[in-house]
Structure 1
Amino acid sequence: MPQHLRGGAVTAREWWADGERTLGTALGRLVPHEYAEPSLLPGWTRAHVLAHVAGNADAVTNLLHWARTGVETPMYPSAEARDAEIERRAALAPPELEAEVLAATRELAEAVASLPEEAWTAEVRTFQGRTVPATEVFWIRAREVWVHAVDLDAGVGFADAPEELLAAVVDEVFGAWSRRGAVPAVTVFAGDREWGSGGVAVAGSLADVAGWVTGRTAGEGLRCDGPLPALPRWI
Protein backbone atom coordinates (compact mmCIF):
# COMPACT_ATOMS: atom_id res chain seq x y z
CA MET A 1 0.00 0.00 0.00
CA PRO A 2 1.45 3.41 -0.87
CA GLN A 3 3.30 4.82 2.11
CA HIS A 4 1.62 8.22 2.01
CA LEU A 5 -1.91 6.78 2.07
CA ARG A 6 -3.79 8.33 4.96
CA GLY A 7 -6.32 6.07 6.60
CA GLY A 8 -4.54 2.95 5.36
CA ALA A 9 -6.74 -0.09 4.91
CA VAL A 10 -9.88 1.79 6.00
CA THR A 11 -9.51 4.29 3.16
CA ALA A 12 -8.52 1.59 0.67
CA ARG A 13 -11.57 -0.47 1.65
CA GLU A 14 -13.82 2.49 0.86
CA TRP A 15 -12.06 2.97 -2.48
CA TRP A 16 -12.53 -0.71 -3.24
CA ALA A 17 -16.27 -0.62 -2.54
CA ASP A 18 -16.76 2.57 -4.56
CA GLY A 19 -14.59 1.21 -7.35
CA GLU A 20 -16.59 -2.00 -7.65
CA ARG A 21 -19.77 0.07 -7.98
CA THR A 22 -18.14 2.32 -10.57
CA LEU A 23 -16.90 -0.65 -12.57
CA GLY A 24 -20.38 -2.16 -12.44
CA THR A 25 -21.82 1.09 -13.80
CA ALA A 26 -19.35 1.10 -16.69
CA LEU A 27 -20.04 -2.57 -17.41
CA GLY A 28 -23.78 -1.93 -17.44
CA ARG A 29 -23.37 0.74 -20.12
CA LEU A 30 -21.79 -1.65 -22.61
CA VAL A 31 -23.84 -3.36 -25.29
CA PRO A 32 -22.70 -6.73 -26.68
CA HIS A 33 -20.98 -5.53 -29.86
CA GLU A 34 -18.83 -3.11 -27.83
CA TYR A 35 -17.05 -5.90 -25.95
CA ALA A 36 -14.87 -6.64 -29.00
CA GLU A 37 -13.90 -2.99 -29.51
CA PRO A 38 -10.57 -1.56 -28.31
CA SER A 39 -10.24 -0.45 -24.71
CA LEU A 40 -8.01 2.38 -23.52
CA LEU A 41 -5.41 -0.23 -22.54
CA PRO A 42 -3.22 -0.66 -25.64
CA GLY A 43 -3.57 -4.08 -27.22
CA TRP A 44 -6.66 -5.12 -25.27
CA THR A 45 -10.33 -5.11 -26.18
CA ARG A 46 -12.96 -4.31 -23.60
CA ALA A 47 -13.51 -8.07 -23.30
CA HIS A 48 -9.85 -8.54 -22.35
CA VAL A 49 -10.15 -5.86 -19.67
CA LEU A 50 -13.25 -7.51 -18.22
CA ALA A 51 -11.61 -10.94 -18.37
CA HIS A 52 -8.65 -9.56 -16.44
CA VAL A 53 -10.91 -7.88 -13.88
CA ALA A 54 -12.68 -11.20 -13.25
CA GLY A 55 -9.36 -13.01 -12.95
CA ASN A 56 -8.03 -10.41 -10.54
CA ALA A 57 -11.09 -10.88 -8.32
CA ASP A 58 -10.37 -14.61 -8.28
CA ALA A 59 -6.71 -13.88 -7.48
CA VAL A 60 -7.52 -11.59 -4.56
CA THR A 61 -9.98 -14.18 -3.26
CA ASN A 62 -7.08 -16.66 -3.33
CA LEU A 63 -5.07 -14.35 -1.07
CA LEU A 64 -7.93 -14.19 1.40
CA HIS A 65 -8.15 -17.99 1.40
CA TRP A 66 -4.43 -18.02 2.21
CA ALA A 67 -4.98 -15.57 5.06
CA ARG A 68 -7.91 -17.58 6.44
CA THR A 69 -6.38 -21.07 6.25
CA GLY A 70 -2.63 -20.50 6.34
CA VAL A 71 -2.37 -22.64 3.19
CA GLU A 72 -0.24 -20.88 0.59
CA THR A 73 -2.56 -19.95 -2.27
CA PRO A 74 -0.88 -17.77 -4.91
CA MET A 75 -2.86 -15.18 -6.79
CA TYR A 76 -2.15 -17.01 -10.06
CA PRO A 77 -0.43 -20.35 -10.72
CA SER A 78 1.87 -18.57 -13.19
CA ALA A 79 1.96 -15.64 -15.58
CA GLU A 80 1.21 -18.04 -18.41
CA ALA A 81 -1.84 -19.44 -16.64
CA ARG A 82 -3.10 -15.93 -15.90
CA ASP A 83 -2.73 -14.89 -19.54
CA ALA A 84 -4.40 -18.06 -20.82
CA GLU A 85 -7.37 -17.48 -18.53
CA ILE A 86 -7.70 -13.90 -19.78
CA GLU A 87 -7.81 -15.16 -23.36
CA ARG A 88 -10.36 -17.85 -22.46
CA ARG A 89 -12.69 -15.40 -20.81
CA ALA A 90 -12.22 -12.72 -23.46
CA ALA A 91 -13.48 -15.20 -26.07
CA LEU A 92 -16.75 -15.80 -24.21
CA ALA A 93 -20.03 -14.41 -25.46
CA PRO A 94 -20.71 -11.04 -23.77
CA PRO A 95 -23.51 -12.32 -21.48
CA GLU A 96 -21.27 -15.17 -20.29
CA LEU A 97 -18.33 -12.86 -19.67
CA GLU A 98 -20.52 -10.41 -17.78
CA ALA A 99 -21.82 -13.27 -15.64
CA GLU A 100 -18.25 -14.38 -14.83
CA VAL A 101 -17.23 -10.83 -13.86
CA LEU A 102 -20.23 -10.48 -11.55
CA ALA A 103 -19.76 -13.95 -10.03
CA ALA A 104 -16.05 -13.37 -9.33
CA THR A 105 -16.80 -9.98 -7.80
CA ARG A 106 -19.54 -11.45 -5.62
CA GLU A 107 -17.27 -14.26 -4.40
CA LEU A 108 -14.60 -11.72 -3.48
CA ALA A 109 -17.11 -9.64 -1.51
CA GLU A 110 -18.23 -12.77 0.34
CA ALA A 111 -14.61 -13.67 1.14
CA VAL A 112 -14.02 -10.19 2.55
CA ALA A 113 -17.18 -10.28 4.65
CA SER A 114 -16.42 -13.71 6.11
CA LEU A 115 -12.71 -13.28 6.89
CA PRO A 116 -12.11 -13.50 10.66
CA GLU A 117 -10.72 -10.33 12.22
CA GLU A 118 -7.48 -11.99 13.27
CA ALA A 119 -6.80 -13.18 9.71
CA TRP A 120 -6.42 -9.63 8.38
CA THR A 121 -2.91 -9.46 9.85
CA ALA A 122 -1.82 -12.71 8.17
CA GLU A 123 0.95 -12.31 5.62
CA VAL A 124 0.37 -13.19 1.97
CA ARG A 125 2.39 -12.65 -1.17
CA THR A 126 1.44 -10.52 -4.16
CA PHE A 127 1.96 -11.60 -7.75
CA GLN A 128 5.01 -9.29 -7.86
CA GLY A 129 6.52 -11.19 -4.93
CA ARG A 130 5.96 -8.69 -2.10
CA THR A 131 4.99 -10.06 1.31
CA VAL A 132 2.14 -7.96 2.70
CA PRO A 133 -0.62 -8.20 5.33
CA ALA A 134 -4.00 -9.37 4.07
CA THR A 135 -5.34 -5.83 4.49
CA GLU A 136 -3.30 -4.93 1.38
CA VAL A 137 -5.93 -6.66 -0.77
CA PHE A 138 -8.16 -3.60 -0.52
CA TRP A 139 -5.56 -1.43 -2.24
CA ILE A 140 -4.69 -4.15 -4.77
CA ARG A 141 -8.31 -4.48 -5.83
CA ALA A 142 -9.21 -0.77 -5.56
CA ARG A 143 -6.41 0.13 -7.95
CA GLU A 144 -7.54 -2.53 -10.40
CA VAL A 145 -11.23 -1.68 -10.50
CA TRP A 146 -10.77 2.08 -10.77
CA VAL A 147 -8.11 1.98 -13.49
CA HIS A 148 -9.90 -0.69 -15.49
CA ALA A 149 -13.26 1.06 -15.16
CA VAL A 150 -11.56 3.90 -17.04
CA ASP A 151 -10.09 1.43 -19.54
CA LEU A 152 -13.58 0.32 -20.56
CA ASP A 153 -14.10 3.78 -22.10
CA ALA A 154 -17.74 3.71 -21.06
CA GLY A 155 -18.21 7.09 -19.45
CA VAL A 156 -15.85 6.72 -16.47
CA GLY A 157 -12.70 8.83 -16.41
CA PHE A 158 -9.82 9.37 -14.03
CA ALA A 159 -11.52 12.59 -12.93
CA ASP A 160 -14.26 10.42 -11.39
CA ALA A 161 -11.81 8.70 -9.03
CA PRO A 162 -10.87 10.04 -5.57
CA GLU A 163 -7.87 12.36 -5.77
CA GLU A 164 -5.95 10.52 -3.06
CA LEU A 165 -6.41 7.28 -4.97
CA LEU A 166 -5.06 8.90 -8.13
CA ALA A 167 -2.06 10.22 -6.19
CA ALA A 168 -1.46 6.71 -4.86
CA VAL A 169 -1.60 5.30 -8.39
CA VAL A 170 0.98 7.84 -9.59
CA ASP A 171 3.13 6.93 -6.56
CA GLU A 172 2.94 3.29 -7.62
CA VAL A 173 3.87 4.06 -11.22
CA PHE A 174 6.95 6.03 -10.17
CA GLY A 175 7.80 3.31 -7.65
CA ALA A 176 7.60 0.64 -10.36
CA TRP A 177 9.84 2.70 -12.63
CA SER A 178 12.32 3.22 -9.80
CA ARG A 179 12.54 -0.51 -9.02
CA ARG A 180 13.37 -1.15 -12.69
CA GLY A 181 15.83 1.76 -12.87
CA ALA A 182 13.64 3.31 -15.56
CA VAL A 183 12.45 6.63 -14.07
CA PRO A 184 12.13 9.11 -16.96
CA ALA A 185 13.91 12.47 -16.78
CA VAL A 186 10.80 14.40 -15.76
CA THR A 187 9.41 16.27 -12.80
CA VAL A 188 5.63 15.99 -12.73
CA PHE A 189 3.43 18.48 -10.90
CA ALA A 190 -0.26 18.19 -10.01
CA GLY A 191 -1.34 20.96 -7.68
CA ASP A 192 0.92 20.75 -4.62
CA ARG A 193 2.02 17.20 -5.47
CA GLU A 194 5.30 16.43 -7.20
CA TRP A 195 7.00 13.32 -8.58
CA GLY A 196 10.42 12.78 -10.10
CA SER A 197 13.42 15.07 -10.31
CA GLY A 198 14.23 15.26 -14.01
CA GLY A 199 14.88 18.29 -16.13
CA VAL A 200 11.61 18.22 -18.10
CA ALA A 201 8.75 19.81 -16.16
CA VAL A 202 5.24 18.49 -16.79
CA ALA A 203 2.16 19.87 -15.04
CA GLY A 204 -1.56 19.31 -15.11
CA SER A 205 -4.53 18.03 -13.20
CA LEU A 206 -4.11 14.88 -11.16
CA ALA A 207 -6.52 13.07 -13.47
CA ASP A 208 -4.52 14.06 -16.57
CA VAL A 209 -1.24 13.09 -14.89
CA ALA A 210 -2.64 9.69 -13.88
CA GLY A 211 -3.88 9.03 -17.40
CA TRP A 212 -0.50 9.89 -18.89
CA VAL A 213 1.80 7.99 -16.52
CA THR A 214 -0.37 4.85 -16.67
CA GLY A 215 -0.20 4.90 -20.47
CA ARG A 216 -3.91 5.51 -20.98
CA THR A 217 -3.49 8.89 -22.70
CA ALA A 218 -0.88 10.68 -24.78
CA GLY A 219 -0.76 13.52 -22.26
CA GLU A 220 -3.77 15.53 -23.33
CA GLY A 221 -4.36 18.44 -20.97
CA LEU A 222 -0.78 18.53 -19.67
CA ARG A 223 1.60 21.47 -19.91
CA CYS A 224 5.27 20.94 -20.65
CA ASP A 225 8.30 23.16 -21.29
CA GLY A 226 9.08 21.09 -24.37
CA PRO A 227 7.78 17.98 -26.13
CA LEU A 228 6.30 15.42 -23.76
CA PRO A 229 8.84 12.63 -23.36
CA ALA A 230 8.07 8.99 -24.06
CA LEU A 231 7.37 7.08 -20.86
CA PRO A 232 8.26 3.51 -19.88
CA ARG A 233 5.44 1.06 -19.38
CA TRP A 234 3.91 1.01 -15.91
CA ILE A 235 3.76 -2.75 -15.30
Structure 2
Amino acid sequence: MDRWTDGERLFATALGRLTDEELDGPSLLPGWDRRHVVAHVARNADALVNLLAWARTGDETPMYPSREARDAGIAEAAALEASQLRTELVAATARLADAVRGLPGPAWSAEVRTMQGRPVPASHVPWMRCTEVVVHAVDLDAGVGFADVAEDVQAAICEEVFGAWERRGETPDVVVFAGDREWGSGAVAVSGALPAVTGWLTGRSRGEELAADGALPELPRWL
Protein backbone atom coordinates (compact mmCIF):
# COMPACT_ATOMS: atom_id res chain seq x y z
CA MET A 1 0.00 0.00 0.00
CA ASP A 2 2.87 2.40 0.74
CA ARG A 3 4.14 2.03 -2.83
CA TRP A 4 0.72 2.96 -4.17
CA THR A 5 0.23 6.01 -1.94
CA ASP A 6 3.76 7.21 -2.70
CA GLY A 7 2.98 6.85 -6.40
CA GLU A 8 -0.21 8.89 -6.08
CA ARG A 9 1.77 11.64 -4.36
CA LEU A 10 4.37 11.57 -7.13
CA PHE A 11 1.73 11.96 -9.82
CA ALA A 12 0.08 14.78 -7.88
CA THR A 13 3.46 16.49 -7.59
CA ALA A 14 4.07 16.27 -11.33
CA LEU A 15 0.58 17.51 -12.15
CA GLY A 16 0.86 20.32 -9.62
CA ARG A 17 3.89 21.68 -11.45
CA LEU A 18 1.85 22.23 -14.61
CA THR A 19 -0.32 25.24 -15.34
CA ASP A 20 -3.70 24.70 -16.93
CA GLU A 21 -2.28 25.93 -20.23
CA GLU A 22 0.59 23.45 -20.03
CA LEU A 23 -1.88 20.57 -19.90
CA ASP A 24 -2.40 21.17 -23.61
CA GLY A 25 1.29 20.49 -24.27
CA PRO A 26 2.71 17.15 -25.40
CA SER A 27 3.44 14.33 -23.01
CA LEU A 28 6.16 11.73 -23.44
CA LEU A 29 3.55 9.36 -24.90
CA PRO A 30 3.31 9.67 -28.69
CA GLY A 31 -0.09 10.98 -29.73
CA TRP A 32 -1.17 12.04 -26.24
CA ASP A 33 -1.01 15.49 -24.74
CA ARG A 34 -0.81 15.86 -20.98
CA ARG A 35 -4.59 16.13 -20.75
CA HIS A 36 -4.93 12.61 -22.11
CA VAL A 37 -2.41 11.27 -19.60
CA VAL A 38 -4.34 12.83 -16.71
CA ALA A 39 -7.64 11.60 -18.15
CA HIS A 40 -6.25 8.09 -18.50
CA VAL A 41 -5.03 8.06 -14.90
CA ALA A 42 -8.48 9.15 -13.72
CA ARG A 43 -10.30 6.53 -15.77
CA ASN A 44 -7.79 3.88 -14.67
CA ALA A 45 -8.78 4.53 -11.05
CA ASP A 46 -12.40 3.80 -11.91
CA ALA A 47 -11.37 0.71 -13.87
CA LEU A 48 -9.59 -0.64 -10.81
CA VAL A 49 -12.68 0.10 -8.71
CA ASN A 50 -14.47 -2.25 -11.11
CA LEU A 51 -11.95 -5.00 -10.34
CA LEU A 52 -12.43 -4.54 -6.61
CA ALA A 53 -16.21 -4.69 -7.07
CA TRP A 54 -15.68 -7.97 -8.93
CA ALA A 55 -13.60 -9.28 -6.03
CA ARG A 56 -16.15 -8.14 -3.46
CA THR A 57 -19.32 -9.42 -5.16
CA GLY A 58 -18.12 -12.26 -7.37
CA ASP A 59 -19.93 -10.67 -10.32
CA GLU A 60 -17.54 -10.27 -13.23
CA THR A 61 -16.85 -6.57 -13.73
CA PRO A 62 -13.97 -6.01 -16.16
CA MET A 63 -11.84 -2.91 -16.02
CA TYR A 64 -13.48 -1.61 -19.20
CA PRO A 65 -16.40 -2.96 -21.24
CA SER A 66 -14.15 -2.81 -24.32
CA ARG A 67 -11.04 -1.06 -25.58
CA GLU A 68 -13.31 1.28 -27.52
CA ALA A 69 -15.15 2.21 -24.33
CA ARG A 70 -11.82 2.79 -22.60
CA ASP A 71 -10.61 5.10 -25.34
CA ALA A 72 -13.93 6.99 -25.41
CA GLY A 73 -13.82 7.53 -21.65
CA ILE A 74 -10.31 8.94 -21.85
CA ALA A 75 -11.24 11.25 -24.73
CA GLU A 76 -14.32 12.49 -22.86
CA ALA A 77 -12.34 13.30 -19.72
CA ALA A 78 -9.51 14.90 -21.70
CA ALA A 79 -12.02 17.33 -23.22
CA LEU A 80 -13.01 18.73 -19.81
CA GLU A 81 -11.95 22.18 -18.70
CA ALA A 82 -8.59 21.98 -16.95
CA SER A 83 -10.05 22.65 -13.51
CA GLN A 84 -12.74 20.02 -14.06
CA LEU A 85 -10.14 17.50 -15.21
CA ARG A 86 -8.07 18.07 -12.09
CA THR A 87 -11.19 17.72 -9.93
CA GLU A 88 -12.18 14.52 -11.72
CA LEU A 89 -8.75 13.01 -11.08
CA VAL A 90 -9.02 13.76 -7.37
CA ALA A 91 -12.54 12.32 -7.23
CA ALA A 92 -11.60 9.15 -9.12
CA THR A 93 -8.57 8.60 -6.91
CA ALA A 94 -10.79 9.01 -3.84
CA ARG A 95 -13.26 6.47 -5.22
CA LEU A 96 -10.44 3.97 -5.58
CA ALA A 97 -9.17 4.66 -2.07
CA ASP A 98 -12.68 4.11 -0.70
CA ALA A 99 -12.97 0.83 -2.60
CA VAL A 100 -9.63 -0.36 -1.22
CA ARG A 101 -10.59 0.54 2.34
CA GLY A 102 -13.96 -1.14 1.98
CA LEU A 103 -12.79 -4.46 0.54
CA PRO A 104 -13.30 -7.31 3.05
CA GLY A 105 -10.23 -9.33 3.93
CA PRO A 106 -11.21 -12.58 2.15
CA ALA A 107 -11.97 -10.69 -1.08
CA TRP A 108 -8.32 -9.74 -1.52
CA SER A 109 -7.60 -13.30 -2.65
CA ALA A 110 -10.38 -13.32 -5.26
CA GLU A 111 -9.21 -13.70 -8.85
CA VAL A 112 -9.81 -10.86 -11.31
CA ARG A 113 -8.33 -10.08 -14.73
CA THR A 114 -6.17 -7.26 -16.01
CA MET A 115 -6.91 -5.34 -19.20
CA GLN A 116 -4.59 -7.77 -20.99
CA GLY A 117 -6.63 -10.74 -19.72
CA ARG A 118 -4.10 -11.94 -17.14
CA PRO A 119 -5.66 -13.48 -14.02
CA VAL A 120 -4.39 -11.88 -10.81
CA PRO A 121 -5.60 -11.77 -7.20
CA ALA A 122 -7.35 -8.59 -6.11
CA SER A 123 -4.37 -7.96 -3.84
CA HIS A 124 -2.45 -7.07 -7.02
CA VAL A 125 -4.67 -4.04 -7.69
CA PRO A 126 -2.73 -1.54 -5.52
CA TRP A 127 0.46 -2.50 -7.34
CA MET A 128 -1.29 -2.10 -10.70
CA ARG A 129 -2.25 1.42 -9.65
CA CYS A 130 1.27 2.13 -8.43
CA THR A 131 2.78 1.32 -11.82
CA GLU A 132 0.18 3.49 -13.56
CA VAL A 133 0.73 6.61 -11.49
CA VAL A 134 4.52 6.27 -11.30
CA VAL A 135 5.09 5.77 -15.02
CA HIS A 136 2.54 8.38 -16.03
CA ALA A 137 4.02 10.90 -13.59
CA VAL A 138 7.13 10.64 -15.74
CA ASP A 139 5.02 10.88 -18.90
CA LEU A 140 3.72 14.30 -17.84
CA ASP A 141 7.23 15.63 -18.55
CA ALA A 142 6.99 18.03 -15.63
CA GLY A 143 10.39 17.51 -14.06
CA VAL A 144 9.59 14.18 -12.40
CA GLY A 145 11.75 11.26 -13.50
CA PHE A 146 12.42 7.70 -12.50
CA ALA A 147 15.21 8.97 -10.26
CA ASP A 148 12.40 10.33 -8.06
CA VAL A 149 10.95 6.82 -7.66
CA ALA A 150 12.03 4.42 -4.92
CA GLU A 151 14.57 1.90 -6.19
CA ASP A 152 12.50 -1.11 -5.13
CA VAL A 153 9.57 0.24 -7.16
CA GLN A 154 11.77 0.82 -10.20
CA ALA A 155 13.17 -2.71 -9.91
CA ALA A 156 9.68 -4.18 -9.59
CA ILE A 157 8.57 -2.28 -12.70
CA CYS A 158 11.54 -3.70 -14.63
CA GLU A 159 10.50 -7.16 -13.44
CA GLU A 160 6.94 -6.45 -14.64
CA VAL A 161 8.21 -5.48 -18.09
CA PHE A 162 10.24 -8.66 -18.51
CA GLY A 163 7.31 -10.69 -17.21
CA ALA A 164 4.98 -9.15 -19.79
CA TRP A 165 7.44 -9.91 -22.59
CA GLU A 166 7.89 -13.48 -21.40
CA ARG A 167 4.14 -14.12 -21.29
CA ARG A 168 3.87 -12.92 -24.90
CA GLY A 169 6.99 -14.77 -26.06
CA GLU A 170 8.66 -11.47 -26.99
CA THR A 171 11.63 -11.32 -24.62
CA PRO A 172 14.46 -9.44 -26.39
CA ASP A 173 17.94 -10.93 -26.67
CA VAL A 174 19.42 -8.86 -23.84
CA VAL A 175 20.66 -9.16 -20.30
CA VAL A 176 20.23 -5.90 -18.42
CA PHE A 177 22.25 -4.80 -15.40
CA ALA A 178 21.58 -1.96 -12.96
CA GLY A 179 24.07 -2.18 -10.13
CA ASP A 180 23.64 -5.63 -8.58
CA ARG A 181 20.25 -6.13 -10.24
CA GLU A 182 19.90 -8.22 -13.39
CA TRP A 183 17.10 -9.06 -15.82
CA GLY A 184 17.06 -11.31 -18.86
CA SER A 185 19.60 -13.80 -20.17
CA GLY A 186 20.23 -12.70 -23.73
CA ALA A 187 23.38 -12.16 -25.76
CA VAL A 188 23.58 -8.34 -25.63
CA ALA A 189 24.66 -6.98 -22.24
CA VAL A 190 23.16 -3.60 -21.37
CA SER A 191 23.99 -1.68 -18.21
CA GLY A 192 23.31 1.64 -16.59
CA ALA A 193 21.87 3.42 -13.61
CA LEU A 194 18.53 2.06 -12.48
CA PRO A 195 16.50 5.13 -13.58
CA ALA A 196 18.02 4.93 -17.06
CA VAL A 197 17.29 1.21 -17.27
CA THR A 198 13.70 1.69 -16.09
CA GLY A 199 13.14 4.46 -18.61
CA TRP A 200 14.48 2.35 -21.47
CA LEU A 201 12.60 -0.84 -20.57
CA THR A 202 9.30 1.03 -20.24
CA GLY A 203 9.79 2.81 -23.55
CA ARG A 204 10.27 6.24 -21.98
CA SER A 205 13.79 6.70 -23.35
CA ARG A 206 15.91 5.44 -26.21
CA GLY A 207 18.67 4.29 -23.88
CA GLU A 208 21.04 7.20 -24.45
CA GLU A 209 22.49 6.84 -20.95
CA LEU A 210 23.09 3.10 -21.20
CA ALA A 211 26.20 1.13 -22.14
CA ALA A 212 25.99 -2.00 -24.29
CA ASP A 213 28.40 -4.49 -25.83
CA GLY A 214 26.43 -4.32 -29.06
CA ALA A 215 23.72 -2.28 -30.70
CA LEU A 216 20.75 -1.59 -28.45
CA PRO A 217 17.84 -3.59 -29.83
CA GLU A 218 14.39 -2.25 -30.52
CA LEU A 219 12.34 -3.31 -27.54
CA PRO A 220 8.82 -4.73 -27.76
CA ARG A 221 6.06 -2.67 -26.23
CA TRP A 222 5.54 -3.22 -22.53
CA LEU A 223 1.72 -3.29 -22.43
TM-score normalised by structure 1 residue count: 0.90
**How far did 1:219 drift?**
0.9
Q: What's the CA shift for 1:53?
A: 0.3
The yes-or-no answer on 1:211 pairing with 2:199 is yes
Write out aligned runs for 1:39-54 (5 A): 39-54=27-42
Q: Does 1:196 align with 2:196?
A: no
Equivalent residue runs for 1:27-38 within 5 Å:
27-38=15-26
**Letter matched to residue 28 of structure 1:** G
Aligned to 1:119: 107
Q: Quote the offset at 1:142 in angstroms.
A: 0.7
Unaligned runs of 5+ in 1: 1-12
SS of residue in 1 equivalent to 2:55: helix
CA distance in 1, matches of 2:121, 2:214: 43
Aligned residues: 223
Find the aligned partners of 1:82 and 1:174 in 2 and give their Cα distance.
Answer: 25
| Aligned-residue offset at 1:118 | 2.3
Match of 2:9 in 1: 21
**Residue 68 of structure 2: which of 77, 80, 86 is its match?**
80
Q: Give deviations 1:80-124, integer Å, cap 9, x for gaps.
A: 110111111112221111111111001111111122222222222
Match of 2:169 among 171, 178, 181: 181
Corresponding position of 1:94 = 82
Q: Can you list the C-alpha shifts for 1:148-183, whole angstroms capped at 9, x where unaligned?
A: 111111121101111111111111111222222222
Amino acid at match of 2:169: G
Q: Distance between the aligned counterparts of 2:89 and 2:204, measured in 1?
A: 22
Distance 1:118 1:185 in 2: 41
Cα shift readout 1:184-224 (whole Å, capped 9, x = no counterpart): 22111111111122222110011100100111011132111
Partner of 2:116: 128
Aligned to 1:155, the other structure's residue is in SS state coil
- Which of structure 1's runs of 4+ aligned residues deviate more than 4 A? none
Hey, what's the Cα distance between the residues in 1 that align with 2:165 and 2:58? 32
| 3-state secondary structure, aligned to 1:132 | strand
Confirm whether residue 167 of structure 1 aligns to residue 155 of structure 2. Answer: yes
Change (3 A) 1:219 1:63: same
SS of residue paired to 1:230: coil
Q: Work out the CA distance in 1 between the residues paired with 2:42 and 2:49.
A: 11
* 1:107 match: 95
Aligned-CA RMSD value: 1.3
Letter of the 2:63 partner, please give it: M
2:212 equivalent to 1:224: yes
Kindly provide the CA deviation profile for residues 45-73 of structure 1, in whole angstroms up to 9, marking residues without a partner as x.
Answer: 11111111011100111111112222211
TM superposition shift of 1:43 = 2.1
What does 1:140-159 align with in structure 2 at a 5 Å threshold? 140-159=128-147
**Paired residue for 1:5?**
none
Task: Give secondary structure in 2 for the equivalent of 1:145.
Answer: helix
Q: Report the residue type matching 2:84 in the other structure.
A: E
C-alpha distance in 1, partners of 2:164/2:53? 27
Mapping of residues 60-75 of structure 1, within 5 Å: 60-75=48-63
- Report what 1:3 is aligned to: none
